[in-house]
Structure 1
């Protein structure tokens, strides 16, 4: 991916005002396995594609717990993702010890963005080649953030990153307006449907995807961040496939036309 003399240093700007090293890091995110995040009023669901480097190896984890009230999904260089997820975990622990309260999700996303942005200002560093979907729950409700290797971060109702994520975004854009009122089960089904869109014909099973959820119960207590069991994921996938295979009922006009023996009208 070497272009010219302007991509040898992260602090070297091209005449067009571009930092090629940062662009390379963002390209690494686009080449990673797809990840999807959906947010309702009280719940957030993260889903990722599990892909192994070879048939003889296991897949690398893409979804990590940060605290009881927060978790992340990543696309890009998994080694960078593990380092940053450990950083987020330490930030949550330190804040809890000092203030005896969980770290707000917006503050968590901000600290991750600050750490990533420093790497675009130091010549002896390189940008982290990983993008994060930060999901969490605090006093203001459920939140979903996307953190970019450039140091930018944005809050979304639903978002997808990674390889072939555009088709997942298109799917989410058609339905995101109703996510505020979705139940956890509906969020999980839409997350799996979005992941299925990125597989390009490959069959969706519980072995090639990971789903995690965090939320708030009706009494106000937090449901800790947890990975959903593979058996439950497979049951959800089977129910989705059964619903798709079910025959659609004919319309009333078709039924009337089929049952009518009247002669055609003259025009």
Structure 2
């Protein structure tokens, strides 16, 4: 994208009816490392690729626990994600203190969507440059939402965001009909395969660059990383490199 006369502020519409500042924020999400979310009839999974800024730096945190029943996977600016995740935590704490109950997932999603939408409408602000996959389980069952900097929030059976996320979406669209009825271990396997498709051909998922989050009816939101993730990675099918084995040559008897 290049600078033009209509991107000086987020309140300025272009002649085509576009808000360029909001579109730039959406592009920031596409620059972040990939995150994948999917669910079955009982559980929601969030998976994310972690990046390191250098050999001496630790891997960035991509999964964040909001409450016992809510977690998020992020793609985009981690500083913006920290601010928004703290806001979501405050909303959850308020619900428990005032009403003595967990915050319904739909209300948490709408609260953050309203907060983001204000930044697309008021002068002197900028849209948040981060997108979320929000997974949780409440009284109405498991839910998976996508939050974007424009303030839009949509519910999905499976979704991916971030760099090269289209490859993961292709896998999810191909297999999503199996997700609702499959077991938790099989669902994790599908999630890892979708996340692996966002990698370059010579890269693989490892215990260092992968995070897994699980939440369910009797399963508080749990983030699995490091050595605890190794058994799940070991169950993955071999990567298809796209090369076919040559057919054996026929020899005359």
CA offset digits 1:194-223 (Å, max 9, x no partner): 11100112021111110010012xxxxx31
For the residues of structure 1 that align with 2:76 and 2:179, how far apart are their CA atoms?
Answer: 27
1:228 paired residue among 224, 236, 247: 224
Q: Does 1:33 align with 2:29?
A: no
- Indicate the SS of the match to 2:72: strand
- Asked if the contact 2:210–2:225 (Cα under 8 Å) also holds between the matched residues in 1, the reply is no
Task: Map 1:66-215 onto structure 2 (within 5 A).
Answer: 66-201=66-201, 202-215=203-216
TM-score of the two chains, using structure 1 as the length reference: 0.87
Residue 159 and residue 242 in structure 1: after superposition, are their counterparts in 2 closer, same or farther (change >3 A)? closer
Residue 237 and residue 126 in structure 1: after superposition, are their counterparts in 2 closer, same or farther (change >3 A)? same
For the residues of structure 1 that align with 2:177 and 2:107, how far apart are their CA atoms?
Answer: 26
For the residues of structure 2 that align with 1:28 and 1:67, how far apart are their CA atoms?
Answer: 26
CA offset digits 1:74-116 (Å, max 9, x no partner): 1000100011001000000001111111111111111111010
For the residues of structure 2 that align with 1:190 and 1:200, how far apart are their CA atoms?
Answer: 18
CA offset at residue 230 of structure 1? 2.4
Structure having the larger proportion of residues in helix: 1
Name the residue aligned to 2:9.
Answer: 9
Q: Which deviates further from its counterpart, 222-231 or 79-88? A: 222-231
CA offset at residue 231 of structure 1? 2.2
For the residues of structure 1 that align with 2:18 and 2:235, how far apart are their CA atoms?
Answer: 48
Runs of 4+ aligned structure 1 residues displaced above 3 Å come to 241-244
- Asked if the contact 2:160–2:169 (Cα under 8 Å) also holds between the matched residues in 1, the reply is yes
Larger radius of gyration: 1
- Indicate the SS of the match to 2:33: coil
Name the residue aligned to 2:247.
Answer: none
- Indicate the SS of the match to 1:6: coil
CA offset at residue 2 of structure 1? 4.1
Alignment gaps of 5+ in structure 2: 241-253
- Indicate the SS of the match to 1:18: coil
Residue 28 and residue 243 in structure 1: after superposition, are their counterparts in 2 closer, same or farther (change >3 A)? closer
CA offset at residue 126 of structure 1? 0.4
For the residues of structure 1 that align with 2:23 and 2:16, how far apart are their CA atoms?
Answer: 13
TM-score of the two chains, using structure 2 as the length reference: 0.91
CA offset at residue 234 of structure 1? 1.4
- Indicate the SS of the match to 1:37: strand
CA offset digits 1:123-179 (Å, max 9, x no partner): 111000000101010111000000110011100000000000000000000111121
For the residues of structure 1 that align with 2:110 and 2:177, how far apart are their CA atoms?
Answer: 26
- CA RMSD across the alignment: 1.4
For the residues of structure 1 that align with 2:73 and 2:239, how far apart are their CA atoms?
Answer: 28
